Chain A
Protein backbone atom coordinates (compact mmCIF):
# COMPACT_ATOMS: atom_id res chain seq x y z
CA UNK A 1 0.00 0.00 0.00
CA UNK A 2 1.30 3.39 -0.93
CA UNK A 3 0.44 5.03 2.39
CA UNK A 4 2.36 2.33 4.19
CA UNK A 5 5.40 2.84 1.99
CA UNK A 6 5.45 6.56 2.75
CA UNK A 7 4.76 5.91 6.43
CA UNK A 8 7.74 3.59 6.77
CA UNK A 9 9.97 5.96 4.87
CA UNK A 10 8.90 8.80 7.16
CA UNK A 11 9.47 6.61 10.19
CA UNK A 12 12.94 5.71 8.99
CA UNK A 13 13.81 9.34 8.51
CA UNK A 14 12.27 10.54 11.77
CA UNK A 15 13.82 7.88 13.96
CA UNK A 16 17.24 9.03 12.82
CA UNK A 17 16.62 12.59 13.92
CA UNK A 18 18.96 13.33 16.75
CA UNK A 19 16.65 15.78 18.41
CA UNK A 20 14.41 12.88 19.42
CA UNK A 21 17.19 11.37 21.45
CA UNK A 22 18.05 14.67 23.03
CA UNK A 23 14.47 15.04 24.21
CA UNK A 24 14.45 11.40 25.30
CA UNK A 25 17.54 12.08 27.36
CA UNK A 26 15.86 14.99 29.13
CA UNK A 27 12.76 12.91 29.72
CA UNK A 28 14.78 10.15 31.34
CA UNK A 29 16.62 12.71 33.44
CA UNK A 30 13.30 14.11 34.62
CA UNK A 31 11.94 10.71 35.46
CA UNK A 32 15.08 9.97 37.40
CA UNK A 33 14.95 13.38 39.01
CA UNK A 34 11.48 12.62 40.35
CA UNK A 35 13.20 10.24 42.71
CA UNK A 36 15.14 13.17 44.10
CA UNK A 37 12.13 15.46 44.09
CA UNK A 38 10.30 12.94 46.21
CA UNK A 39 12.66 13.69 49.06
CA UNK A 40 11.80 17.38 49.04
CA UNK A 41 8.07 17.07 49.13
CA UNK A 42 5.48 16.86 51.81
CA UNK A 43 3.41 14.12 50.23
CA UNK A 44 3.56 10.45 49.43
CA UNK A 45 6.80 9.59 47.67
CA UNK A 46 5.59 7.12 45.10
CA UNK A 47 2.80 9.46 44.12
CA UNK A 48 5.25 12.13 43.21
CA UNK A 49 7.28 9.73 41.11
CA UNK A 50 4.13 8.69 39.28
CA UNK A 51 3.01 12.26 38.87
CA UNK A 52 6.31 13.63 37.60
CA UNK A 53 6.84 10.57 35.46
CA UNK A 54 3.51 10.88 33.70
CA UNK A 55 3.97 14.62 33.34
CA UNK A 56 7.37 14.03 31.72
CA UNK A 57 5.96 11.49 29.31
CA UNK A 58 3.23 13.89 28.36
CA UNK A 59 5.38 17.00 28.09
CA UNK A 60 8.38 15.50 26.34
CA UNK A 61 6.16 13.44 24.09
CA UNK A 62 4.42 16.63 23.05
CA UNK A 63 7.78 18.28 22.43
CA UNK A 64 8.83 15.42 20.18
CA UNK A 65 5.56 15.60 18.30
CA UNK A 66 5.98 19.32 17.78
CA UNK A 67 9.67 19.25 16.83
CA UNK A 68 9.39 16.49 14.28
CA UNK A 69 5.85 17.15 13.13
CA UNK A 70 6.38 20.75 12.16
CA UNK A 71 9.23 19.81 9.87
CA UNK A 72 7.51 16.85 8.25
CA UNK A 73 5.98 18.46 5.22
CA UNK A 74 7.97 21.63 5.28
CA UNK A 75 11.27 19.80 4.85
CA UNK A 76 9.98 17.91 1.86
CA UNK A 77 8.93 21.12 0.21
CA UNK A 78 12.15 22.98 1.05
CA UNK A 79 14.40 20.17 -0.08
CA UNK A 80 12.24 19.54 -3.10
CA UNK A 81 12.07 15.84 -2.47
CA UNK A 82 8.35 16.36 -2.78
CA UNK A 83 8.60 17.01 -6.52
CA UNK A 84 9.52 13.50 -7.54
CA UNK A 85 7.15 12.07 -4.97
CA UNK A 86 4.03 13.91 -6.03
CA UNK A 87 4.71 13.45 -9.73
CA UNK A 88 4.18 9.73 -9.15
CA UNK A 89 0.68 8.28 -9.42
CA UNK A 90 -0.31 8.90 -5.82
CA UNK A 91 -3.01 11.07 -4.38
CA UNK A 92 -1.97 13.92 -2.18
CA UNK A 93 -3.97 12.45 0.68
CA UNK A 94 -1.88 9.30 0.52
CA UNK A 95 1.23 11.39 0.98
CA UNK A 96 -0.23 13.27 3.93
CA UNK A 97 -1.57 10.20 5.68
CA UNK A 98 1.70 8.40 5.11
CA UNK A 99 3.56 11.23 6.82
CA UNK A 100 1.08 11.23 9.70
CA UNK A 101 1.26 7.51 10.37
CA UNK A 102 5.03 7.53 10.03
CA UNK A 103 5.34 10.08 12.79
CA UNK A 104 2.72 8.36 14.95
CA UNK A 105 4.76 5.18 14.71
CA UNK A 106 7.90 7.09 15.69
CA UNK A 107 6.17 8.61 18.71
CA UNK A 108 4.83 5.22 19.68
CA UNK A 109 8.32 3.79 19.81
CA UNK A 110 9.66 6.76 21.75
CA UNK A 111 6.78 6.68 24.21
CA UNK A 112 7.29 2.96 24.64
CA UNK A 113 10.93 3.56 25.55
CA UNK A 114 10.07 6.25 28.05
CA UNK A 115 7.26 4.17 29.52
CA UNK A 116 9.48 1.19 30.10
CA UNK A 117 11.93 3.32 32.03
CA UNK A 118 9.14 5.03 33.96
CA UNK A 119 7.27 1.84 34.83
CA UNK A 120 10.55 0.27 35.74
CA UNK A 121 11.22 3.00 38.24
CA UNK A 122 7.73 2.69 39.70
CA UNK A 123 8.10 -1.06 39.96
CA UNK A 124 11.38 -0.55 41.73
CA UNK A 125 9.51 1.43 44.38
CA UNK A 126 6.29 -0.48 44.72
CA UNK A 127 7.26 -3.99 43.60
CA UNK A 128 4.01 -4.42 41.78
CA UNK A 129 2.97 -3.71 38.24
CA UNK A 130 0.56 -0.82 38.11
CA UNK A 131 -1.70 -1.45 35.16
CA UNK A 132 -3.69 1.75 35.63
CA UNK A 133 -0.61 3.70 34.67
CA UNK A 134 -0.83 2.09 31.26
CA UNK A 135 -4.27 3.60 30.83
CA UNK A 136 -2.90 7.04 31.57
CA UNK A 137 -0.07 6.42 29.10
CA UNK A 138 -2.50 5.23 26.45
CA UNK A 139 -4.38 8.48 26.69
CA UNK A 140 -1.14 10.42 26.59
CA UNK A 141 -0.46 8.64 23.30
CA UNK A 142 -3.87 9.64 21.98
CA UNK A 143 -3.17 13.22 22.90
CA UNK A 144 0.17 13.02 21.08
CA UNK A 145 -1.57 11.78 17.96
CA UNK A 146 -3.80 14.83 18.02
CA UNK A 147 -0.85 17.16 18.56
CA UNK A 148 0.96 15.46 15.67
CA UNK A 149 -1.96 16.10 13.36
CA UNK A 150 -1.95 19.77 14.33
CA UNK A 151 1.81 20.03 13.76
CA UNK A 152 1.31 18.39 10.38
CA UNK A 153 -1.44 20.87 9.53
CA UNK A 154 0.77 23.85 10.19
CA UNK A 155 3.69 22.20 8.49
CA UNK A 156 1.70 22.27 5.25
CA UNK A 157 1.86 26.00 4.93
CA UNK A 158 4.15 27.48 7.52
CA UNK A 159 7.82 27.51 8.50
CA UNK A 160 8.92 25.18 11.30
CA UNK A 161 9.37 28.01 13.80
CA UNK A 162 5.89 29.45 13.31
CA UNK A 163 4.39 25.99 13.15
CA UNK A 164 6.01 25.10 16.45
CA UNK A 165 4.60 28.23 18.06
CA UNK A 166 1.11 27.60 16.74
CA UNK A 167 1.15 23.97 17.80
CA UNK A 168 2.45 24.94 21.22
CA UNK A 169 -0.37 27.46 21.46
CA UNK A 170 -2.81 24.69 20.59
CA UNK A 171 -1.33 22.59 23.38
CA UNK A 172 -1.59 25.37 25.93
CA UNK A 173 -5.13 26.30 24.92
CA UNK A 174 -6.03 22.66 25.13
CA UNK A 175 -4.94 22.44 28.71
CA UNK A 176 -6.45 25.70 29.90
CA UNK A 177 -9.90 25.39 28.35
CA UNK A 178 -11.41 25.04 31.79
CA UNK A 179 -10.33 28.62 32.43
CA UNK A 180 -12.56 29.74 29.61
CA UNK A 181 -15.40 27.80 31.16
CA UNK A 182 -15.01 29.71 34.40
CA UNK A 183 -14.87 33.02 32.56
CA UNK A 184 -17.98 32.21 30.54
CA UNK A 185 -19.96 31.67 33.71
CA UNK A 186 -19.28 35.28 34.59
CA UNK A 187 -20.56 36.68 31.27
CA UNK A 188 -24.13 37.87 31.09
CA UNK A 189 -26.44 35.82 28.87
CA UNK A 190 -26.75 36.99 25.34
CA UNK A 191 -25.03 36.84 22.01
CA UNK A 192 -21.59 37.30 23.50
CA UNK A 193 -22.10 34.43 25.85
CA UNK A 194 -23.44 32.17 23.10
CA UNK A 195 -20.47 32.98 20.92
CA UNK A 196 -18.05 32.35 23.76
CA UNK A 197 -19.73 29.05 24.49
CA UNK A 198 -19.50 27.98 20.85
CA UNK A 199 -15.83 28.88 20.90
CA UNK A 200 -15.37 26.96 24.13
CA UNK A 201 -16.83 23.82 22.60
CA UNK A 202 -14.74 24.17 19.48
CA UNK A 203 -11.41 24.74 21.17
CA UNK A 204 -9.57 21.55 21.97
CA UNK A 205 -9.93 20.16 25.43
CA UNK A 206 -6.82 18.15 25.97
CA UNK A 207 -7.81 17.62 29.56
CA UNK A 208 -10.14 14.97 28.21
CA UNK A 209 -7.08 12.83 27.80
CA UNK A 210 -5.70 13.68 31.20
CA UNK A 211 -6.30 10.87 33.60
CA UNK A 212 -3.04 11.36 35.40
CA UNK A 213 -4.56 12.83 38.54
CA UNK A 214 -7.25 10.21 38.96
CA UNK A 215 -4.92 7.35 38.33
CA UNK A 216 -2.24 8.63 40.65
CA UNK A 217 -4.76 9.21 43.42
CA UNK A 218 -6.55 5.94 42.68
CA UNK A 219 -9.83 7.72 42.21
CA UNK A 220 -12.72 5.97 40.49
CA UNK A 221 -13.19 6.87 36.83
CA UNK A 222 -16.61 6.53 35.20
CA UNK A 223 -16.06 4.14 32.28
CA UNK A 224 -18.21 6.16 29.91
CA UNK A 225 -15.58 8.87 29.82
CA UNK A 226 -12.99 6.50 28.39
CA UNK A 227 -15.16 5.86 25.38
CA UNK A 228 -16.08 9.50 24.93
CA UNK A 229 -12.49 10.62 25.27
CA UNK A 230 -11.22 8.14 22.75
CA UNK A 231 -13.93 9.15 20.30
CA UNK A 232 -13.18 12.79 20.98
CA UNK A 233 -9.53 12.23 20.20
CA UNK A 234 -10.27 10.29 17.05
CA UNK A 235 -12.74 12.78 15.67
CA UNK A 236 -10.71 15.84 16.51
CA UNK A 237 -7.66 14.27 14.87
CA UNK A 238 -9.76 13.42 11.84
CA UNK A 239 -11.01 16.99 11.71
CA UNK A 240 -7.48 18.40 11.74
CA UNK A 241 -6.27 15.92 9.11
CA UNK A 242 -9.13 16.78 6.77
CA UNK A 243 -8.36 20.45 7.21
CA UNK A 244 -4.70 19.75 6.45
CA UNK A 245 -5.70 17.84 3.34
CA UNK A 246 -7.96 20.64 2.10
CA UNK A 247 -5.10 23.08 2.40
CA UNK A 248 -2.48 20.74 0.99
CA UNK A 249 -4.52 19.81 -2.06
CA UNK A 250 -4.68 23.34 -3.32
CA UNK A 251 -1.06 24.09 -2.73
CA UNK A 252 1.20 25.12 -5.58
CA UNK A 253 4.75 23.89 -5.19
CA UNK A 254 6.70 26.67 -6.75
Chain B
Protein backbone atom coordinates (compact mmCIF):
# COMPACT_ATOMS: atom_id res chain seq x y z
CA UNK B 1 0.00 0.00 0.00
CA UNK B 2 1.38 3.39 -0.97
CA UNK B 3 2.06 5.72 1.84
CA UNK B 4 -0.01 8.88 1.75
CA UNK B 5 3.02 11.07 2.34
CA UNK B 6 6.69 10.32 2.38
CA UNK B 7 9.16 13.04 3.18
CA UNK B 8 12.87 12.30 2.98
CA UNK B 9 15.62 14.53 4.23
CA UNK B 10 13.88 17.85 3.69
CA UNK B 11 16.05 20.93 4.05
CA UNK B 12 15.00 24.54 3.73
CA UNK B 13 16.69 27.84 4.57
CA UNK B 14 15.48 31.37 4.13
CA UNK B 15 17.39 34.53 3.60
CA UNK B 16 15.90 37.04 5.95
CA UNK B 17 16.53 40.63 6.76
CA UNK B 18 17.76 43.62 4.87
CA UNK B 19 21.31 42.31 4.92
CA UNK B 20 20.33 38.75 4.05
CA UNK B 21 21.18 36.27 6.73
CA UNK B 22 20.50 32.65 6.03
CA UNK B 23 18.25 31.02 8.57
CA UNK B 24 17.85 27.29 8.42
CA UNK B 25 14.28 26.30 9.15
CA UNK B 26 14.20 22.62 8.19
CA UNK B 27 17.29 20.60 8.96
CA UNK B 28 16.60 17.26 7.39
CA UNK B 29 12.99 16.28 8.03
CA UNK B 30 11.93 12.73 7.30
CA UNK B 31 8.51 11.37 8.03
CA UNK B 32 5.92 8.93 6.75
CA UNK B 33 2.15 9.17 6.84
CA UNK B 34 0.24 5.97 6.21
CA UNK B 35 -3.01 5.84 4.32
CA UNK B 36 -6.18 6.00 6.34
CA UNK B 37 -4.65 7.38 9.52
CA UNK B 38 -4.86 10.66 11.33
CA UNK B 39 -1.35 12.01 11.65
CA UNK B 40 -0.49 14.73 14.12
CA UNK B 41 2.39 17.12 13.50
CA UNK B 42 3.41 18.87 16.69
CA UNK B 43 5.93 21.43 17.65
CA UNK B 44 6.37 24.77 19.34
CA UNK B 45 5.94 27.99 17.40
CA UNK B 46 8.62 28.52 14.83
CA UNK B 47 9.66 24.88 14.79
CA UNK B 48 8.94 24.53 11.10
CA UNK B 49 5.49 22.93 10.96
CA UNK B 50 3.97 25.39 8.53
CA UNK B 51 7.15 25.45 6.45
CA UNK B 52 6.99 21.67 6.10
CA UNK B 53 3.38 21.85 5.03
CA UNK B 54 4.10 24.57 2.50
CA UNK B 55 6.88 22.45 1.05
CA UNK B 56 4.47 19.57 0.65
CA UNK B 57 2.01 21.82 -1.15
CA UNK B 58 4.50 23.39 -3.51
CA UNK B 59 4.15 26.86 -2.06
CA UNK B 60 7.79 26.74 -1.01
CA UNK B 61 10.59 25.00 -2.85
CA UNK B 62 12.90 22.96 -0.64
CA UNK B 63 16.66 23.25 -0.92
CA UNK B 64 17.07 19.52 -0.68
CA UNK B 65 14.99 16.44 -0.12
CA UNK B 66 12.21 14.41 -1.61
CA UNK B 67 8.48 14.53 -1.04
CA UNK B 68 6.07 11.97 -2.43
CA UNK B 69 2.30 11.95 -2.20
CA UNK B 70 0.72 8.58 -2.94
CA UNK B 71 3.83 7.69 -4.83
CA UNK B 72 3.67 10.76 -7.09
CA UNK B 73 6.05 13.71 -7.02
CA UNK B 74 4.54 16.30 -4.76
CA UNK B 75 4.47 19.01 -7.43
CA UNK B 76 2.68 16.94 -10.02
CA UNK B 77 -0.91 17.76 -10.82
CA UNK B 78 -1.85 14.16 -10.08
CA UNK B 79 -0.69 14.59 -6.52
CA UNK B 80 -2.38 17.94 -6.09
CA UNK B 81 -5.67 16.60 -7.35
CA UNK B 82 -5.71 14.24 -4.39
CA UNK B 83 -5.07 16.72 -1.62
CA UNK B 84 -7.18 19.23 0.20
CA UNK B 85 -5.59 22.00 2.25
CA UNK B 86 -6.84 24.28 5.00
CA UNK B 87 -4.31 26.96 5.97
CA UNK B 88 -3.88 28.53 9.38
CA UNK B 89 -5.98 31.68 9.85
CA UNK B 90 -7.77 31.20 6.58
CA UNK B 91 -8.65 34.24 4.57
CA UNK B 92 -10.61 34.07 1.40
CA UNK B 93 -12.00 36.41 -1.22
CA UNK B 94 -14.35 38.38 0.93
CA UNK B 95 -16.44 39.78 -1.87
CA UNK B 96 -17.77 36.32 -2.67
CA UNK B 97 -20.57 34.48 -0.89
CA UNK B 98 -19.91 31.02 0.51
CA UNK B 99 -21.56 29.32 -2.45
CA UNK B 100 -19.83 31.52 -5.04
CA UNK B 101 -16.52 30.85 -3.35
CA UNK B 102 -16.96 27.09 -3.48
CA UNK B 103 -18.19 27.35 -7.05
CA UNK B 104 -15.05 29.23 -8.08
CA UNK B 105 -12.76 26.66 -6.51
CA UNK B 106 -14.75 23.82 -8.00
CA UNK B 107 -13.93 25.25 -11.43
CA UNK B 108 -10.26 24.64 -10.72
CA UNK B 109 -10.87 20.95 -10.19
CA UNK B 110 -12.59 20.16 -13.44
CA UNK B 111 -15.61 18.88 -11.56
CA UNK B 112 -18.43 18.40 -14.02
CA UNK B 113 -20.83 21.31 -14.14
CA UNK B 114 -23.95 19.37 -13.25
CA UNK B 115 -22.24 17.80 -10.26
CA UNK B 116 -20.96 21.09 -8.90
CA UNK B 117 -24.17 22.47 -7.44
CA UNK B 118 -24.97 19.28 -5.59
CA UNK B 119 -21.47 18.89 -4.25
CA UNK B 120 -21.39 22.45 -2.97
CA UNK B 121 -24.72 22.02 -1.24
CA UNK B 122 -23.59 18.80 0.41
CA UNK B 123 -20.35 20.26 1.62
CA UNK B 124 -22.02 23.32 3.09
CA UNK B 125 -24.24 20.99 5.00
CA UNK B 126 -21.36 18.84 6.21
CA UNK B 127 -19.60 21.83 7.73
CA UNK B 128 -22.82 23.21 9.16
CA UNK B 129 -23.09 26.47 7.23
CA UNK B 130 -26.47 26.03 5.54
CA UNK B 131 -27.78 29.26 7.01
CA UNK B 132 -24.85 31.28 5.69
CA UNK B 133 -24.59 29.85 2.20
CA UNK B 134 -25.46 33.19 0.60
CA UNK B 135 -23.66 35.42 3.03
CA UNK B 136 -20.55 37.28 1.87
CA UNK B 137 -17.36 35.88 3.30
CA UNK B 138 -16.38 39.26 4.68
CA UNK B 139 -19.19 38.85 7.18
CA UNK B 140 -18.02 35.47 8.39
CA UNK B 141 -16.71 34.94 11.91
CA UNK B 142 -13.43 33.17 12.53
CA UNK B 143 -15.16 29.88 13.21
CA UNK B 144 -17.27 30.18 10.10
CA UNK B 145 -14.21 30.90 7.98
CA UNK B 146 -12.58 27.81 9.39
CA UNK B 147 -15.57 25.76 8.33
CA UNK B 148 -15.84 27.13 4.83
CA UNK B 149 -12.11 26.56 4.61
CA UNK B 150 -12.66 22.94 5.49
CA UNK B 151 -15.40 22.76 2.87
CA UNK B 152 -13.08 24.01 0.10
CA UNK B 153 -10.47 21.51 1.25
CA UNK B 154 -12.96 18.70 0.71
CA UNK B 155 -14.27 19.82 -2.68
CA UNK B 156 -12.34 17.32 -4.71
CA UNK B 157 -12.94 14.43 -2.30
CA UNK B 158 -9.23 14.32 -1.51
CA UNK B 159 -7.48 11.23 -0.29
CA UNK B 160 -5.21 13.34 1.87
CA UNK B 161 -6.48 16.30 3.86
CA UNK B 162 -3.83 18.67 5.21
CA UNK B 163 -4.95 20.93 8.04
CA UNK B 164 -2.71 23.61 9.51
CA UNK B 165 -3.89 24.44 13.04
CA UNK B 166 -7.54 23.66 12.28
CA UNK B 167 -8.69 24.08 15.86
CA UNK B 168 -7.09 27.41 16.58
CA UNK B 169 -9.37 30.20 17.72
CA UNK B 170 -12.44 28.02 18.05
CA UNK B 171 -14.67 27.72 21.07
CA UNK B 172 -14.99 24.27 22.71
CA UNK B 173 -18.14 23.45 20.75
CA UNK B 174 -16.48 24.42 17.50
CA UNK B 175 -13.47 22.33 18.35
CA UNK B 176 -15.59 19.33 19.07
CA UNK B 177 -17.44 19.72 15.76
CA UNK B 178 -14.23 19.95 13.77
CA UNK B 179 -12.78 17.00 15.65
CA UNK B 180 -15.88 15.01 14.78
CA UNK B 181 -15.54 15.93 11.13
CA UNK B 182 -11.92 14.85 11.14
CA UNK B 183 -12.76 11.50 12.70
CA UNK B 184 -15.51 11.04 10.15
CA UNK B 185 -13.01 11.72 7.37
CA UNK B 186 -10.90 8.90 8.68
CA UNK B 187 -13.93 6.62 8.72
CA UNK B 188 -14.48 7.47 5.06
CA UNK B 189 -11.02 6.16 4.35
CA UNK B 190 -9.25 9.50 3.99
CA UNK B 191 -5.89 10.32 5.45
CA UNK B 192 -5.62 13.40 7.62
CA UNK B 193 -2.43 15.31 8.29
CA UNK B 194 -2.89 17.96 10.91
CA UNK B 195 -0.56 20.27 12.70
CA UNK B 196 -1.52 21.73 16.01
CA UNK B 197 -0.42 23.17 19.32
CA UNK B 198 -3.50 21.92 21.15
CA UNK B 199 -2.17 18.68 22.49
CA UNK B 200 -5.33 17.46 24.13
CA UNK B 201 -7.08 17.41 20.76
CA UNK B 202 -4.18 15.65 19.11
CA UNK B 203 -4.18 13.07 21.82
CA UNK B 204 -7.85 12.49 21.34
CA UNK B 205 -7.90 11.81 17.63
CA UNK B 206 -4.44 11.07 16.25
CA UNK B 207 -3.08 7.66 15.47
CA UNK B 208 0.49 8.63 14.85
CA UNK B 209 2.42 11.78 15.60
CA UNK B 210 5.70 13.44 14.81
CA UNK B 211 7.26 16.06 17.03
CA UNK B 212 9.36 18.75 15.42
CA UNK B 213 11.55 21.13 17.41
CA UNK B 214 13.86 23.67 15.78
CA UNK B 215 13.68 22.07 12.37
CA UNK B 216 14.40 18.52 13.51
CA UNK B 217 12.01 15.64 14.04
CA UNK B 218 12.63 14.53 17.58
CA UNK B 219 10.16 11.74 17.82
CA UNK B 220 7.85 9.95 15.48
CA UNK B 221 5.52 7.02 15.87
CA UNK B 222 2.22 5.66 17.10
CA UNK B 223 0.80 7.67 19.94
CA UNK B 224 0.62 4.82 22.38
CA UNK B 225 4.22 3.88 21.64
CA UNK B 226 5.42 7.33 22.50
CA UNK B 227 3.50 7.81 25.65
CA UNK B 228 4.22 5.16 28.23
CA UNK B 229 1.26 3.65 29.95
CA UNK B 230 3.12 3.92 33.18
CA UNK B 231 1.11 5.52 35.92
CA UNK B 232 2.81 8.67 37.10
CA UNK B 233 0.72 9.17 40.19
CA UNK B 234 -2.75 8.52 41.53
CA UNK B 235 -5.08 11.28 42.62
CA UNK B 236 -7.38 10.32 45.46
CA UNK B 237 -10.04 12.65 46.86
CA UNK B 238 -10.72 11.83 50.54
CA UNK B 239 -12.82 13.27 53.32
CA UNK B 240 -13.20 12.54 56.97
CA UNK B 241 -9.51 12.11 57.67
CA UNK B 242 -6.94 14.40 59.19
CA UNK B 243 -4.61 15.90 56.59
CA UNK B 244 -1.49 15.39 58.74
CA UNK B 245 -2.05 11.64 58.88
CA UNK B 246 -1.78 11.39 55.13
CA UNK B 247 1.51 13.13 54.78
CA UNK B 248 3.71 10.06 54.82
CA UNK B 249 1.70 8.39 52.08
CA UNK B 250 1.72 11.10 49.46
CA UNK B 251 1.28 14.79 48.81
CA UNK B 252 -1.90 16.12 50.28
CA UNK B 253 -3.64 19.31 49.20
CA UNK B 254 -6.78 20.49 50.87
CA UNK B 255 -9.79 21.25 48.75
CA UNK B 256 -13.07 22.95 49.43
CA UNK B 257 -15.72 21.37 51.51
CA UNK B 258 -13.27 19.62 53.78
CA UNK B 259 -12.04 17.27 51.10
CA UNK B 260 -8.42 16.45 50.65
CA UNK B 261 -6.72 15.75 47.33
CA UNK B 262 -3.91 13.33 47.81
CA UNK B 263 -1.25 12.64 45.22
CA UNK B 264 0.13 9.17 45.73
CA UNK B 265 3.32 8.36 43.82
CA UNK B 266 3.96 4.77 44.78
CA UNK B 267 1.45 2.14 43.79
CA UNK B 268 1.78 0.21 47.06
CA UNK B 269 0.94 3.40 48.95
CA UNK B 270 -2.45 3.48 47.23
CA UNK B 271 -3.40 0.27 49.07
CA UNK B 272 -2.19 1.78 52.33
CA UNK B 273 -4.32 4.87 51.80
CA UNK B 274 -7.42 2.85 51.06
CA UNK B 275 -6.87 0.75 54.20
CA UNK B 276 -6.22 3.82 56.30
CA UNK B 277 -9.28 5.69 55.11
CA UNK B 278 -11.38 2.60 55.66
CA UNK B 279 -10.12 2.22 59.22
CA UNK B 280 -10.75 5.87 59.98
CA UNK B 281 -14.27 5.57 58.60
CA UNK B 282 -13.46 8.24 56.04
CA UNK B 283 -14.79 8.41 52.55
CA UNK B 284 -13.10 7.97 49.13
CA UNK B 285 -14.74 10.27 46.61
CA UNK B 286 -12.59 9.48 43.60
CA UNK B 287 -9.50 7.60 42.60
CA UNK B 288 -7.86 8.56 39.31
CA UNK B 289 -4.57 7.12 38.07
CA UNK B 290 -2.74 9.69 35.97
CA UNK B 291 -0.69 8.40 33.08
CA UNK B 292 1.74 10.39 31.04
CA UNK B 293 0.00 12.75 28.68
CA UNK B 294 1.24 14.08 25.43
CA UNK B 295 1.70 17.40 27.11
CA UNK B 296 4.08 15.92 29.64
CA UNK B 297 6.08 14.28 26.89
CA UNK B 298 6.13 17.42 24.88
CA UNK B 299 7.22 19.67 27.72
CA UNK B 300 9.92 17.16 28.62
CA UNK B 301 11.27 17.06 25.09
CA UNK B 302 11.26 20.80 24.63
CA UNK B 303 12.98 21.25 27.98
CA UNK B 304 15.73 18.90 26.90
CA UNK B 305 16.41 21.05 23.89
Q: Is B253 interfacial (CB-CB < 8 Å)? A: no
Q: Are A80's CB and B60's CB within 8 A? A: no
Nearest chain-A residue to B56 (Cβ)? A87
Min distance, Cβ A164 to any Cβ of chain B, angstroms: 22
Taking CB atoms, residues of chain A closer than 8 Å to B90 are 80, 84
Q: Are A84's CB and B105's CB within 8 A? A: yes
Q: Which residues 125-155 in A have Cβ within 8 Å of B in the complex?
A: none
Nearest chain-A residue to B82 (Cβ)? A89
Q: How far is the CA of A2 from the CA of B59 in the complex (A)?
A: 19
Min distance, Cβ A128 to any Cβ of chain B, angstroms: 42
What does the 1/0 interface line of A79-90 toward B look like (CB < 8 Å)? 111011111111
Among A2, A5, A90, A254, contact of B14 (Cβ-Cβ < 8 Å):
A254
Tell whether A89 pairs with B59 under 8 Å between CB atoms, given A16-B95, A81-B93, A254-B14. no
Taking CB atoms, residues of chain B closer than 8 Å to A83 are 54, 57, 59, 85, 87
Q: How far is the CA of A89 from the CA of B87 in the complex (A)?
A: 16
Q: Are B108's CB and A86's CB within 8 A? A: no
What does the 1/0 interface line of A5-24 toward B look like (CB < 8 Å)? 11001001100100000000
Taking CB atoms, residues of chain B closer than 8 Å to A85 are 108
Q: Is B254 interfacial (CB-CB < 8 Å)? A: no
Q: How far is the CA of A84 from the CA of B92 in the complex (A)?
A: 9
Q: Are A87's CB and B83's CB within 8 A? A: yes
Q: How far is the CA of A43 from the CA of B146 in the complex (A)?
A: 64
Taking CB atoms, residues of chain B closer than 8 Å to A6 are 108
Q: Which residues 61-93 in B have Cβ within 8 Å of A in the complex?
A: 61, 77-78, 80-81, 83, 85-87, 89-93
Q: Is B276 interfacial (CB-CB < 8 Å)? A: no
Q: Are B109's CB and A88's CB within 8 A? A: yes
**Known contacts A84-B149, A89-B77, A252-B60, then 19 further A-B pairs from the complex at CB < 8 Å, ordered by chain A residue:** A5-B108, A9-B93, A9-B96, A12-B96, A13-B95, A81-B91, A81-B92, A83-B54, A83-B59, A84-B90, A85-B108, A86-B58, A87-B59, A88-B80, A88-B109, A89-B81, A253-B54, A254-B14, A254-B54
Among A84, A91, A252, contact of B61 (Cβ-Cβ < 8 Å):
A252
Q: What are the nearest 10 A-B pairs in CB distance?
A: A5-B107, A89-B80, A87-B57, A87-B85, A89-B77, A89-B81, A253-B59, A252-B60, A83-B87, A88-B108
Min distance, Cβ A154 to any Cβ of chain B, angstroms: 20
Nearest chain-B residue to A86 (Cβ)? B59
Q: How far is the CA of A83 from the CA of B83 in the complex (A)?
A: 13
Taking CB atoms, residues of chain A closer than 8 Å to B153 are 84
How many residues in A have their beta carbons less than 8 Å from beta carbons of B?
Answer: 23
Nearest chain-A residue to B62 (Cβ)? A252
Nearest chain-B residue to A252 (Cβ)? B60
Taking CB atoms, residues of chain B closer than 8 Å to A81 are 91-93
Q: How far is the CA of A2 from the CA of B95 in the complex (A)?
A: 20
Q: How far is the CA of A147 from the CA of B3 in the complex (A)?
A: 48
Q: How far is the CA of A80 from the CA of B92 in the complex (A)?
A: 8
Q: How far is the CA of A236 from the CA of B152 in the complex (A)?
A: 38
Q: How far is the CA of A23 from the CA of B61 in the complex (A)?
A: 40
Taking CB atoms, residues of chain A closer than 8 Å to B96 are 9, 12
Q: How far is the CA of A187 from the CA of B93 in the complex (A)?
A: 54
Nearest chain-A residue to B50 (Cβ)? A254
Q: Are B91's CB and A90's CB within 8 A? A: no
Q: Is A186 interfacial (CB-CB < 8 Å)? A: no
Q: How far is the CA of A86 from the CA of B96 in the complex (A)?
A: 18
